Amino acid sequence: MNAPHVPKVAGIQPALPAPAHNPDASPAQPPAESGSPVAATPDVRPVEHLAAVQDRLAGWISDLTTLHELTERLARTETLDSALHELLRAGAALVGARRGMIVLEPADGQGPDTTVGLGLGPADLGTIETIPRSSASYGRILDGLPPEGGARPGQLDEVAHPDLRNEPDLDPRHREVAARLGYAASYAVPLATEAAGRLGAAVWLYDEPTEPVERQRHLIGLYTRYATEQLARHLELTRARATADTLRDELLPSRLPRVGGVRLAVRHRTGPQGGGDWYDALPLPEGALGLAVGGVSGSGPSAVAAMGRLRASLRAYAVMEGEDPVAVLSDLELLLRLTEPARSATALFIHCEQRTLLMAGAGHCPPLIVGDRRTEFVETSLSAPLGMLSCWEAPSVEFEAAPGETLLLYSDGLLHRTGEPMDRAFARLHAAAASVPRSVRDDPDAVADHVLRTVLPDGRDTADGPEDVVLLAVHFEDPGAAAR
């Protein structure tokens, strides 16, 4: 005679075997007759056990789904700052906090060091930083101090303050700051990887005395383990960009020259990969001024290096024969073709003597003159970029600027960042220059700012873009303006 079996639930085999008989059967139950099936009532304990297993599996699936969604959001971040804010937001959701902060302080000392907050303003963060470092939870983590009151098993680096108001031996300043900002508990974890070491610490703040339960601690541990790897990648990229920016800035003029009758202003925005757009302004013999803008093909460190070589070469040619812009660009073309045959470049060079401008362009955008009586493009002779022809030469163009006018030299990145076709981008630039208020037309800095904000509105003039932007404003002073 076979004992009955508990049915399978959701495809899971019962963990406990069904008993051969039912000792809890009621005495009133009639015994089974010989040859008939067993009529015992099945034990309900295996069913309850299976229900508990199902609940636990459902909880695991829910936790994995949540972690997957949060790590997907973190993976889509593009900058170190956005990754820090996403880590704060996700961590607060996992540990059940409303506010928090991350102190980024890489152990190798190479920076960048920064502090970002969630639900905390700059003044709040500054107030928290007045807590003695040895008492602040993030300070203990960054300095490698043991947690106050001992550590939990397996969580040697976490620092939990479940009740700051009543915690003994707490620094008085710590308790004072917590009361002022209105938080009663905190929970901090380190941000570290095996390769990069300790990067910083994340702290979440609670409005009431509490601390994360074991499940929340487990989830935040899994999440921060992945998040710190992502932060390390962003940190490496940020440092590489900073190095490239420093290199590029060193290859460009550290300051613009001061020449009688002319005032200069420049705006330079760099793409995330670092392009090869450049500008220059240098004094020439006999009180003349050399002006140049240009760009090399490609992006990244190789383009930056090529830009530096090209600019240095143009400077040398300008000093030797700057009064002949065609000769300057012809020499530059020959150098580029012989030393870097796989690369092309655009360039515009202007020899400026008082208000007389002699210019030559190689595939570069025409300059724009802005004044009270006119706003128009100064057409240079049509020519291919440097490196595109076996022999480059185009006639120069002479132009006379009026007192009080401003000449705008720019890179094609200014036009490309608009996202519009080139004809509409040129029209947008022209309209922006024409709309410069008369009250600021004598200030090249104000003119450059107005044009840049108008052509690239909504913060696109400062945000990272795929193209470099160069805008050089050359203002020719009106001697009679001061007298009037």
Q: Which pLDDT tens digit goes with each residue over 215-232?
A: 999 999 999 999 999 999
- Find all residues with CB under 8 Å of 257, minimum gap 6, and list them: 264, 281, 282, 283, 289
The string of pLDDT tens digits covering residues 435-465 is 999 999 999 999 999 999 999 987 776 656 6
pLDDT at 244 over 80: no
Residue 273 has a pLDDT of 64
Is the confidence at residue 302, as pLDDT, over 90? no
The pLDDT-based confidence of 4 (bands split at 50, 70, 90) is very low
Please tell me the distance from the alpha carbon of residue 195 to that of residue 232, in angstroms, as a whole number: 9
Residue 210: closest CA among 180, 190, 183, 179 = 183
Structure-token pair, residue 39: 């009529």
Q: Does residue 299 surpass a pLDDT of 80?
A: no
pLDDT of residue 288: 92
The pLDDT of residue 265 is 95
Ranges 19-23, 85-89, 209-213, 448-452: which has the least confidence: 19-23
pLDDT for the residue numbered 427:
95
Contact 340, 387 (CB under 8 A): yes
Return the pLDDT at 144: 79
| Residue with more model confidence, 120 or 480 | 120
Phi, psi (rounded to 5 degrees) for 362 = -120, 90
The predicted model gives 394-414 an average pLDDT of 91
Mean pLDDT is highest, among 110-114, 295-299, 384-388, 392-396, for: 110-114
- Write down the mean pLDDT value for the chain: 83
Proportion of the chain above pLDDT 90, given as a percent: 50
Average pLDDT for 344-355? 92
pLDDT digits (tens, 9 = 90+) for 249-258: 778 887 898 8
Q: How far is the CA of 388 from the CAs of 260, 346, 434, in angstroms?
A: 38, 10, 34
155 pLDDT band (50/70/90 cuts)?
Answer: very low
In sequence order, what are the residues at sequence separation of 6 or more whose Cβ sits closer than 8 angstroms to the Cβ of residue 19? 3, 43
Instruction: Report pLDDT for 358.
Output: 94
